[in-house]
Amino acid sequence: MSERPEHWWAPLEVPTDRILTCRLGPLALDIHHAPGEWRLLHRHDDDEADAPAEAELAVAVGSIDDDGADRFMVADPDPRLTLVPCLLDRPVVIRPRQPVFLPQGEAITLYVSTPVVVAVRVGAGDRLLREIPSLPLSDTWFGSTTREGELCYSGRTRARHLRAELPRRAHRAVTPFQVRNEADTPLPLDRLSLPVQMLSVYGAADGGLWTEPLSLTRGGDSDLAALDVEEDAPEFAGATERLSGPREPRTSGGLVRAFSELFGDRP
C-alpha cells in the first residue's frame, strides 16, 4: 500500500504492475497500470443511499484480468495519475422531493448538489483516458412542449437551504443558488434546470466540492430573469482550488432566460 493522498483529486503515483482501487460514492473504479497500457474497470452501485460518503483510494500490487476492462495503450511509463472532478455535459433538472415555494419579496439560498464526472488523466501530459460519471443519471426532457426544449439529466435532491444540514458526499459538487422573488405571486420551485455545463469545480481544503454560486431574481413586471454566475467559489468554502473549468463558454445571452425555462411550466 502507498501513502493516502489528502484528497481524492490529488495526483497519485501508480507504478507499473500496481492497481488503484477507488471507491467514490456509488462508483467503484479499478485502474491497473500494466506494462505499456492502463486498464480501467468500473461499476456502479444500484442505490446511492448505501454508498460510502467519503472517497476511498488505495494503491496495491495487483492486476485486472477481467475481459470487461477497457485498455488504453500508453507507451510512456510515467506513473502519474490524476482523477479530476468535472461536471456533467448537459443541464441537470433538479426536482426537490418536497414542493418548495418562495413567497413574494423573499430571497433564499438553496444548496443543490450534482454528481461529478471523474476524468481519468495519466502521464506527464495529463492525457485523458476516460470520463466516468460517479452516478449515472437518467435522462429527462425540460421544455414547455415535446417539440421545444432541451435534453437534460434528471437529479433528485432535497435542495437544502441550511448549509449546516448539507451532508458530506465526496462524489457530489454543491452549487449555492440564490433566488429572489420580487413578483406578486409565490414562486414554485418544483423544477429547476441547473446549467452545470457552464460551471467549474472547486475543491475545498475540507474535501468538499463546490461550484460558482448562481443568483437569480424574478422581477415584478417581466417573466424574464437574469441568471448571474459569480466568478469564483463561494467565500464560506474557505481556501479553494479550481479543479476543472466549464465545458461550455458562458455567453452573455445564454444566461438570460425565461423563468419558465428555468423552473418549468406550471400546469
Partner 1 sequence: MSGVLEVLANDTFAMVMRAAFLFALGVVLAPLCSRLVTRFAEDRFSAHHSQLMRRLVFYGVLALFLASALRELGFSLGVLMGAAGVLTVAIGFASQTSASNLISGLFLIGERPFEVGDIIRVGTTTGEVLSIDALSVKLRTFDNLFVRIPNETLIKSEVTTLTRYPIRRLDLALGVAYKEDVDRVREVLLEVADRNRLCLDEPPPLFIFLGFGDSALNIQFSVWAARENFLPLRNSITAEIKAAFDAADIEIPFPHRSLYAGEATKPFPVTVVDPDRRQDD
How far apart are alpha carbons 267 and 264 in whole angstroms? Answer: 9
> Contacts with partner 1 in 136-155 (CB under 8 A)?
136-142, 146-147, 149, 151, 154
Q: How far is the CB of 142 from partner 1 (least distance, A)?
A: 7
Q: In the complex with partner 1, which residue's Cβ is closer, 138 or 252?
A: 138
Task: Tell me, by CB under 8 A, how many residues bind partner 1.
Answer: 14
> Is the distance from CB of 212 to CB of 229 less than 8 angstroms?
yes
Binding to partner 1 by CB under 8 A, coded x per residue (else -) over 153-192, reads -x--------------------------------------
Residue 181 region, left (φ>0) first, then alpha (ψ -120 to 50), else beta?
Answer: beta
Q: How far is the CB of 242 from partner 1 (least distance, A)?
A: 30
Q: How far is the CB of 93 from partner 1 (least distance, A)?
A: 8
Q: How far is the CB of 150 from partner 1 (least distance, A)?
A: 8
Q: Which long-range contacts (CB under 8 A, 24 or more apart) does 28-37 make?
A: 29/118, 29/120, 29/132, 30/64, 30/69, 31/81, 31/120, 32/62, 32/63, 32/64, 32/69, 33/79, 33/81, 34/63, 35/77, 36/73, 36/74, 36/75, 36/77, 37/71, 37/72, 37/73, 37/74
With a CB cutoff of 8 Å and minimum separation 6, the contacts of 26 are 44, 45, 47, 48, 51, 134, 135, 171
Q: In the complex with partner 1, which residue's Cβ is closer, 25 or 213?
A: 25
Q: How far is the CB of 164 from partner 1 (least distance, A)?
A: 30
Q: In the complex with partner 1, which residue's Cβ is closer, 145 or 251?
A: 145
Binding to partner 1 by CB under 8 A, coded x per residue (else -) over 84-103, reads ---------x-x--------
Grid cell digits, residue 39: 486498464
Tell whether residue 197 is a contact of partner 1 (CB under 8 A). no
> Is the distance from CB of 103 to CB of 140 less than 8 angstroms?
no
Q: How far is the CB of 224 from partner 1 (least distance, A)?
A: 23
Q: In the complex with partner 1, which residue's Cβ is closer, 154 or 260?
A: 154
Q: In the complex with partner 1, which residue's Cβ is closer, 138 or 251?
A: 138
Q: How far is the CB of 148 from partner 1 (least distance, A)?
A: 9
225 closest CA partner among 180, 189, 190:
180
How far apart are alpha carbons 93 and 91 in whole angstroms? Answer: 6
Residues lying near partner 1 in the complex (CB under 8 A) are found at: 93, 95, 136-142, 146-147, 149, 151, 154
